[in-house]
Amino acid sequence: MPDHLLDVRNLSVDFHTARGTVHAVRDVSWHLDRGEVLAILGESGSGKSVSASAVLDLIDCPPGEITSGEILFDGRNLLTMSADARRQINGKRIAMIFQDPLSHLNPVYTVGWQIEETMVVHGTARDAARRETVELLRKVGLPDPEGAVEKYPHQFSGGQRQRLMIAMALALKPDVLIADEPTTALDVTVQAQILALLQSLQKETGMGLLIITHDLGVVAEIAHRVVVMNEGEIVERGSAREVYHNPQHAYTKKLISAAPGQGAMSEGGQGPEPMLSMRGVTKTYGAFHAIDDLDLDLYPNETLAIVGESGSGKSTTAKLLLRLEEADAGEAHYEGRDIFKLSPKELYEMRRDIQMVFQDPTQSLNPRMSVYKIISEAWVIHPEILPKPRWRERVAELLEQVGLEAEHMYRHPHQFSGGQRQRIAIARALALEPRIIVCDEAVSALDVSIQAQVIDLLHRLKDELNLSYIFIAHDLPVVRDFADRVLVMQKGKVVEVGPVRQIFESPREDYTRNLLAASLDPDPDVQAERRAARLEAAQ
Amino acid sequence: MVERSPAPAATRTKEGPGALRTALSLLWADKLACAAVIFLVIVTLCAIFGPMFLEEITSKPNLRGRNAPPFDLSKGWMFILGGDQLGRPLLARIIVAAQNTMVVAAGAVVASMIIGSALGLIAGYSRGRAGQIIPRLADVIMSFPSLLLAVIVLYMLEPAVGNLVIVLAITRIPIYLRTTRAEVLEIRERMFVQAARVMGASTKRIVFRHILPVVLPTLTTIATLDFAFVMLAESSLSFLGIGIQPPEITWGLMVSQGRPYLTSAWWLCFWPGLAIILTTLSLNLLSNWLRVVLDPQQRWRLEMGGKKNA
């Protein structure tokens, strides 16, 4: 039988928890060859990271237990190897990079020292290691590599840190590089750069690259072959093109059809008069201009998306509008009054009309309150909305409206999945019968299929209750499907604003064009075209 | 990866007439906490009724029973734990001393916890001047040796139980203040607090409904540990002659009175010391149980029927 570089055969891993045994992966087999990019695609809880963790011996036993299977690396079974022999392979021949680079870099050492250290530990002389480190940093595209070795992790941006992690992983010239959601925490433009870097490094060194991801776009961009996982089992495998264009399994079909960015774009005629208009809004933190002279109009029953990279001032805009932070200058007119100048009493009344849904529902719901208490708190604060005897009935009604069941009101937030929690957060916002809901990255923390459901829900509520949304997002395909108008921000300034069709089909500004070009399409063919176009432009 | 939402069986209706029964069954699920509660009930009963019945026996010297060894029933079962240096039965003295000990320790701990956490909440939540000044006050108290402070105050005031409570409370306030402030500073920025602000919740509501319940488990844990510290601090004040004075008795005072006899009659120190340890331990177990019960994310451990869960 032909030998693969890394071959996982019939692997099953169980986790023994207080509530019984969970079969994290069942009978999973995949292999990786030299010079190949394999993607493991799956949603949270699908067990996509487990087999990679098993390769690197990162599963804690107990509670974990490898119940069957073998992992062959160069023909030797890693699972039966001595701990010492495994250490020689881990890090040296199989390296890994993680989603969150900051937590894997030690803040008290310079990055140069940390990269050198991995080489010194494995027997390279200190000054040779230093030379090689500078070379590596150049290779991963960090500006001024000689200076960079003397800097500390906090002095780098998120994308640069991920480059550092890659440099560190490559220090020992591994045969296999495992990347666990390497770009999930990054902006789209940076994501494109990192993926391109991984790809060129992989070509150059001929290593095998394993990418674990939930994003079809990442698969389309970089993978040769893909393995789709659901609930601990492999449901489909094949080349990236084949799987996308001709999915066999029902789950894969569902996943591909749920990918955002394929629906019709809104034509949305806007009302005559904006219901909310912000003018000349400015906010500075010290010398940093978070928002600089921002103008924004929101029309009745419309969805205005605010897009931009991190640090562009999207969330600050929301905070100013909700008076969680105070603006330095400018005004925000709503129903003939300036929101920034409301007295505490007027502000309290205004709160009813403008509500917010936060990014992470796990954090935005008080873990100690039941769902009933979370939703009815709105009426404790604003007792004029609803008399107490009707609360229970209304909570049940709201829960049904957002697609949950009435009896869920006695449970606590931790008993729900992420998507359900976000529905609860939406129900809470609706309890005050608002006219405007600000969604700050409200679907970014959710899985693709859940994301589509929540977007559908928001869409339906908008028409039923005549709501307007300010939808803050970094994920452009979602915006394309959901928004009526789009406002593009960069460094606290408005770059471009217009109807969604105009922004996506004929963007006027370079920044918008770059943003659109960097976002990943789930179709490998489209992605290949874009890649070719990028290369052409670069030459 | 293995995150699963817990079984829906844990659905609970709101508190009603069955609340007490639910609490008892949750308590029964944790056998250690159950034992702790029983012990604390006994201590409390001793503290309330002990002095009424046993006052006389404990104040009567009996030279034939000086330093009588424990487990010797020839002098009656009151001497089962032995006699002290003046021949008074230790068992009766421990029971009677429970009252003073509990009043001083509980008074000081509760007072310092309430004042300390209230100031901590203000210091942590307000962005104004109070947030700056209050922690500095705590620093001043902490930088001043607490025993020295107690000596000065009690030298000027009468060393009565009330004054003792005040002095001990003041010296312990900074602990609660600092802990509360540090936690509030973090919790204040959490999303659910922001969400409450967006809904228009008043400051009072945010502090008491959203922030305090999250800080409370930490505070009760500190308070139970502090209980032992306060008892011993009180005994060192008694040793210096400015705390509770004989013929009044406390456990701490009994420990310090027994110290000269440590080599010849260990039981003089041992039994009251054991009472202090067991009380603290029980309180700690109880607070641990409370922490689990009050946290909806952990309560299932007890609802599952008390299987072994650390």
Show the tokens assigned to A268.
Answer: 């949305």
For residue B310, pLDDT beyond 50: no
pLDDT of the residue at A193: 81
Beta strands A225-230 and A37-41, pairing class: parallel
Phi–psi pair at A291, nearest 5 degrees: -135, 135
Strand partners, A436: A354, A468
Residue carrying structure tokens 């400051």: B203
Asked if A15 and A21 touch (Cβ cutoff 8 Å), the reply is yes
Q: How far is CA B92 from CA A171, A259, B84, B100, in A?
A: 74, 77, 11, 14
pLDDT of the residue at B308: 43
Q: Please give the sequence-ordered ranges of beta strands (E in DSSP) within A453-523, or none if there are none.
A: 468-473, 485-490, 493-499
Mean pLDDT comparison of A141-145, A520-524, B51-55, B218-222, highest-scoring range: B218-222
The rounded mean pLDDT for chain B is 80
Nearest-angstrom CA–CA distance, A479 and A216: 17
pTM of the predicted protein model? 0.77
Four-CA torsion B276, B282, B288, B293, nearest 10 degrees: -150
Return the half-sphere exposure (C-beta side, CA atoms, 13 A cut-off) of residue A235: 21
Residues 184-223 of B with CB under 8 A from A: 190-192, 194-202, 205, 209-210, 213-214
| CA proximity to A169, closest of A235, A74, A93 | A93
DSSP 3-state of A67: strand
For residue B102, pLDDT beyond 80: yes
| CA proximity to A462, closest of A333, A318, A349, A357 | A357
Closest chain B residue to A381, measured at CA: B201
Q: If pLDDT is split at 50, 70 and 90, which confidence band does B109 have?
A: very high
Per-domain residue ranges for chain B? 81-303
Q: If pLDDT is split at 50, 70 and 90, which confidence band does B11 have?
A: very low
Nearest-angstrom CA–CA distance, A196 and A520: 12
Contact (CB<8Å) B1/A366: no
Instruction: Judge whether B18 is closer than 8 Å to chain A, CB to CB.
Output: no
Contact (CB<8Å) B7/A22: no
Instruction: Judge whether B310 is closer than 8 Å to chain A, CB to CB.
Output: no
Range with the poorest average pLDDT among A29-38, A62-71, A238-247, A272-281: A62-71
pLDDT of the residue at B302: 73
- Higher pLDDT among residues A468 and A419, named by residue: A468
| CA proximity to B216, closest of B245, B184, B188, B171 | B184
Mean pLDDT of B275-290: 87
User: How many other C-beta atoms are found inside a 10 Å radius of the C-beta of residue B232?
Assistant: 16
> Nearest CB to B296: which of A351, A355, A412?
A412
pLDDT of the residue at A19: 67
Nearest-angstrom CA–CA distance, B135 and B177: 8
Nearest-angstrom CA–CA distance, B138 and B124: 13
Nearest-angstrom CA–CA distance, A427 and A347: 22
pLDDT of the residue at B28: 83
Nearest-angstrom CA–CA distance, B31 and A399: 39
Four-CA torsion A464, A468, A473, A478, nearest 10 degrees: 40
Mean pLDDT of A35-48: 84
For residue B4, pLDDT beyond 50: no
Residue type, A307: V
Show the tokens assigned to B59.
Answer: 């104040």
- Higher pLDDT among residues B12 and A323, named by residue: A323
Nearest-angstrom CA–CA distance, A497 and B127: 37
pLDDT of the residue at A271: 63
Closest chain A residue to B309, measured at CA: A18
Strand partners, A9: A70
Nearest-angstrom CA–CA distance, A356 and A438: 5
Range with the poorest average pLDDT among A85-89, A102-106, A347-351: A102-106
Closest chain B residue to A417, measured at CA: B5
Nearest-angstrom CA–CA distance, B4 and A361: 16
- Higher pLDDT among residues A425 and B77, named by residue: A425
pLDDT of the residue at A138: 84
Q: What would you report as the CA-atom Rg of chain A, rounded to the nearest whole angstrom?
A: 25
- Higher pLDDT among residues A81 and A320, named by residue: A320
Residue A302 CA from chain centroid, whole number: 25
Nearest-angstrom CA–CA distance, B184 and A423: 28
SS (H, E, C) A351-417: HHHEEEECCCHHHHCCCCCCHHHHHHHHHHHCCCCCCHHHHHHHHHHHHHHCCCCHHHHHCCHHHCC
Q: Taking CA A400 as the corner, what is the angle to CA A394 and CA A404, rounded to the nearest 5 degrees? A: 125
For residue B135, pLDDT beyond 50: yes
Residue type, B77: W
Q: How far is A206 from chain B (nearest CA, A)?
A: 31
- Higher pLDDT among residues A40 and A19, named by residue: A40
Nearest-angstrom CA–CA distance, B274 and B35: 16
pLDDT of the residue at A487: 92
Range with the poorest average pLDDT among A183-192, A237-246, A478-487: A183-192
The rounded mean pLDDT for chain A is 84
DSSP 3-state of A32: strand
A268-280 tens-digit pLDDT: 666 678 888 889 8
Q: How far is B8 from chain A (nearest CA, A)?
A: 7
A376-423 tens-digit pLDDT: 998 999 988 888 888 999 999 899 888 888 888 888 888 888 888 888
pLDDT of the residue at A306: 92
Strand partners, A488: A307, A496
Q: If pLDDT is split at 50, 70 and 90, which confidence band does B5 have?
A: very low
Q: Which domains does chain A have, with CATH numbers?
A: 33-56+82-258 (3.40.50.300), 276-521 (3.40.50.300)
> Nearest CB to A368: which of B13, B194, B296?
B296
Domain B81-303 -> CATH class? mainly alpha
pLDDT of the residue at B46: 86
> Nearest CB to B191: which of A47, A322, A360?
A360
Q: If pLDDT is split at 50, 70 and 90, which confidence band does B15 have?
A: very low
> Nearest CB to A19: which of B1, B6, B199?
B6
Closest chain B residue to A426, measured at CA: B195
User: How many other C-beta atoms are found inside a 10 Å radius of the C-beta of residue A236?
Assistant: 20
Mean pLDDT of A357-371: 86
Q: How far is B52 from chain A (nearest CA, A)?
A: 44
Show the tokens assigned to B263.
Answer: 């080599």
A116-162 tens-digit pLDDT: 888 888 777 888 888 888 888 888 888 888 888 888 888 887 778 88
Mean pLDDT of A436-453: 84
Determine whether A25 is exposed, middle or buried from the number of CB atoms within 10 Å of its CB (0-12, 13-18, 19+): buried
Mean pLDDT of B268-291: 86
Nearest-angstrom CA–CA distance, A249 and A259: 16
